[in-house]
A and B are shown apart, each in its own frame.
Chain A
């Protein structure tokens, strides 16, 4: 059997080298699929068809299995994120302290349901399953930055600031 040669990088974008690095570190083993997808998402922001195809071929994983993994785990996204992301934690402690009202208010303000990005690509509204800052519930993440005891006004102000940027 001829030795396996990984497929060429999809483009000369430097980020593919980072992705390839993760796979090489794991010896191109099949079990590195999730690790590699994490690297793709942290480098590119999301997973598109090309990247899934590239990773699947490189690791010799059936495309169906790679796509299955991408869609199974909530952390992976198939859509590019907006310029800014507001994530509202919807863990139990946050829920008890009114996270559902925050989500409803943000949805109304932005005119999109959670999980979507505004049509101008500026703001994504996401929901998280507990970020582990339960003692400061309700928690919001503004571009990944934890903001504890978030009030409705604070959240709307932040959205306003992003909208006029």
Chain B
């Protein structure tokens, strides 16, 4: 495959598409699919055939506002329909070329206006199972340009220049990481994509893998070229069967087109990718645990250093990045580092995809420039809290993050700003809570999660999270004391400082952040035996003796 051939494919796709007068795009992402998007698509095919119009029906990845699903977008007029079902197919088919169907049209301008789409630019516009659709939207152009016109160092330089930081949550500068792996000695190196989206309440990576799988593959290939690797692994959760299927198709198509394999684009560069399935362990999102899992072992972390960049998979230098990080690479190579660095804030560049969920009107995927105020995301893009309730807190970063209260909504979203207020950027889960959510109970939920997900290797995490869970359960059931609250704070500090890996080190964050901003709720539970949100049952029987944990 050469650049000319690539352009030829792109041209033939657009010629093919021009034959049609209309394009009807049906969102087939999980949320829409669970509401009958497939039936709707079949009905649309039938209805448009019957109407005799020249229509292309395309199945696409996530369009964003999942709460309005199933979604249909009609091009070239760019009309978005919401809550569509199979019964509406005929009306839509008849409306093509005439006036849009008024009762299905939705006004989501506020939702879309503040968003900037880089990672999600293709979602909703391409069929994820067709490589040609991706190529027609400049897909694989970056890879072939890099292979023929750029040196590996040039690629790293461009990524460094962009200021891209790891989108898995840590925020480590991507260019720096690539440089370290490139400098590491040895002939065999690996690139790994972390698609083990363990944060419960987030689904950005799933949508990217399902909606635009080639973009991840292209990002990995560019990374492999830059660091000198010829083998890649994508580690995907087994809970995401559709993502696995789409990636498998994408890899097969890419091989068929000569975009993976030996001597790609007639250069000495060889690269291929294998998929590895996770098996339901949150700790496998930690890089050393993930590598152990790829090697077929229990996913327990190892002390660092040595970092995987020096000694990773089977002891070889390994580059690990998150799905969204790889998804940012192709546009950076295509448009230049400066283009990317122009978006975002001082120390956090580019855009970030968030999964907006919880007590909010428009749930779904949003992509915003870094530095945007939380208030804009929640009140404008998300449409605020529904049902006349009042906003209480927004949780970012999943079990490793924290809750941010209403008075801090004017905070600009960036790695450093979120860290400063006791939360983290995380992978992009953003869960909105209103006055019916009890913050103590939420803290207990996260600690329970960390307790069951702790791999058991180090004592602070294994025993500490269990003790924290006991204390929080006692507070939630009305038998906690103020002394126990002090003990809880002490435990938080111990676990934070002495755990082996990120899971333990960040496990106390949800407790610490709720204690910082919602201490009155803890005190209400302990002193007045009252749950302000009315969630906890304070007369529940409680275990009096602390849980025995083998340390």
Chain B, residues 425-464, CB within 8 Å of chain A (1/0): the string is 0000101010001000010011001000101000000000
A75-B238, A130-B239, A148-B35 known; A69+B298 contact, CB < 8 A = yes
Using CB atoms, name the residue of chain B closest to A70: B279
User: With an 8 A cutoff between CB atoms, is A83 at the interface?
Assistant: no
* Stretch touching chain A among B15-23, B303-311, B358-366: B358-366
Contact of B357 with A135 in the complex, beta carbons under 8 Å: yes
**CB proximity of B276 to chain A, nearest CB, Å:** 7
Contact of B296 with A97 in the complex, beta carbons under 8 Å: no
State A97–B67 Cα separation when bound (angstroms): 14
Contact of A92 with B429 in the complex, beta carbons under 8 Å: yes
* Stretch touching chain A among B44-52, B201-209, B465-473, B487-495: B201-209
Contact of B239 with A96 in the complex, beta carbons under 8 Å: no
Contacts of B279 in A (CB 8 A): 34, 37-38, 73-76
Contact of B34 with A147 in the complex, beta carbons under 8 Å: yes
Contact of A69 with B297 in the complex, beta carbons under 8 Å: yes
Question: Out of B203, B297, B299, which one reaches A134, CB within 8 Å?
Answer: B203
Chain B, residues 273-304, CB within 8 Å of chain A (1/0): the string is 00011111110000000000111111100000
User: With an 8 A cutoff between CB atoms, is A9 at the interface?
Assistant: no
User: With an 8 A cutoff between CB atoms, is A65 at the interface?
Assistant: yes
Q: How large is the interface on B (under 10, 10 to 19, 20 to 34, 35 or more residues)?
A: 35 or more
User: With an 8 A cutoff between CB atoms, is A156 at the interface?
Assistant: no
Contacts of B431 in A (CB 8 A): 92-93, 96
State A76–B281 Cα separation when bound (angstroms): 11
Contact of A135 with B296 in the complex, beta carbons under 8 Å: no
Contacts of A112 in B (CB 8 A): none
Using CB atoms, name the residue of chain A closest to B237: A132
State A84–B429 Cα separation when bound (angstroms): 31
Using CB atoms, name the residue of chain B closest to A38: B277
Question: Out of B199, B298, B445, which one reaches A95, CB within 8 Å?
Answer: B445
Question: Out of A34, A35, A135, A145, which one reaches B363, CB within 8 Å?
Answer: A135
User: With an 8 A cutoff between CB atoms, is B31 at the interface?
Assistant: yes
Contact of A93 with B296 in the complex, beta carbons under 8 Å: no
Contact of B34 with A34 in the complex, beta carbons under 8 Å: no
State A148–B294 Cα separation when bound (angstroms): 32
User: With an 8 A cutoff between CB atoms, is A146 at the interface?
Assistant: yes
Contact of B363 with A134 in the complex, beta carbons under 8 Å: yes
State A35–B293 Cα separation when bound (angstroms): 10
* Stretch touching chain B among A12-20, A25-33, A116-124, A157-165: A25-33
Contact of A75 with B355 in the complex, beta carbons under 8 Å: no
State A128–B200 Cα separation when bound (angstroms): 10
**CB proximity of B360 to chain A, nearest CB, Å:** 10
State A91–B293 Cα separation when bound (angstroms): 23
Q: How large is the interface on A (under 10, 10 to 19, 20 to 34, 35 or more residues)?
A: 35 or more
Chain A, residues 93-129, CB within 8 Å of chain B (1/0): the string is 1111100000000000000000000000000000011
Contact of A34 with B30 in the complex, beta carbons under 8 Å: no
Contacts of A74 in B (CB 8 A): 279-281
A35-B276, A93-B357 known; A135+B67 contact, CB < 8 A = yes
Contact of B437 with A134 in the complex, beta carbons under 8 Å: no
Contact of B358 with A93 in the complex, beta carbons under 8 Å: yes
Contact of A132 with B239 in the complex, beta carbons under 8 Å: yes
Contacts of B33 in A (CB 8 A): 146
State A16–B391 Cα separation when bound (angstroms): 55
Chain B, residues 346-362, CB within 8 Å of chain A (1/0): the string is 00000000011111000
Using CB atoms, name the residue of chain A closest to B293: A34
User: With an 8 A cutoff between CB atoms, is A10 at the interface?
Assistant: no
State A38–B298 Cα separation when bound (angstroms): 14
State A38–B359 Cα separation when bound (angstroms): 36
State A97–B535 Cα separation when bound (angstroms): 12
A92-B395, A131-B239, A134-B363 known; A31+B203 contact, CB < 8 A = no
State A75–B278 Cα separation when bound (angstroms): 9
User: With an 8 A cutoff between CB atoms, is A88 at the interface?
Assistant: no
Using CB atoms, name the residue of chain A closest to B241: A144
Contacts of B295 in A (CB 8 A): 30-31
User: With an 8 A cutoff between CB atoms, is A53 at the interface?
Assistant: no
Contact of A73 with B30 in the complex, beta carbons under 8 Å: no
A30-B296, A75-B238, A133-B203 known; A146+B358 contact, CB < 8 A = no
> Could you name 23 residue pairs across A and B whose Cβ atoms are closer than 8 Å?
A31-B295, A32-B296, A35-B276, A37-B279, A73-B279, A92-B201, A92-B429, A93-B357, A95-B200, A96-B358, A129-B200, A130-B198, A130-B239, A133-B34, A134-B357, A135-B357, A135-B363, A135-B364, A135-B365, A136-B31, A137-B363, A146-B30, A148-B34
Q: Other than the known A34-B276, A92-B200, A146-B30, what 12 A-B pairs have Cβ atoms closer than 8 Å? A: A69-B297, A74-B279, A96-B359, A96-B431, A96-B442, A129-B198, A129-B239, A130-B203, A135-B355, A137-B358, A145-B34, A148-B34
Residue ranges of B at the interface with A (Cβ–Cβ < 8 Å): 30-31, 33-35, 66-67, 197-203, 206, 238-240, 276-282, 293-299, 355-359, 363-365, 395, 398, 429, 431, 433, 437, 442, 445-446, 449, 453, 455
Residue ranges of A at the interface with B (Cβ–Cβ < 8 Å): 30-35, 37-38, 61, 65, 68-69, 72-76, 90-97, 128-137, 145-148
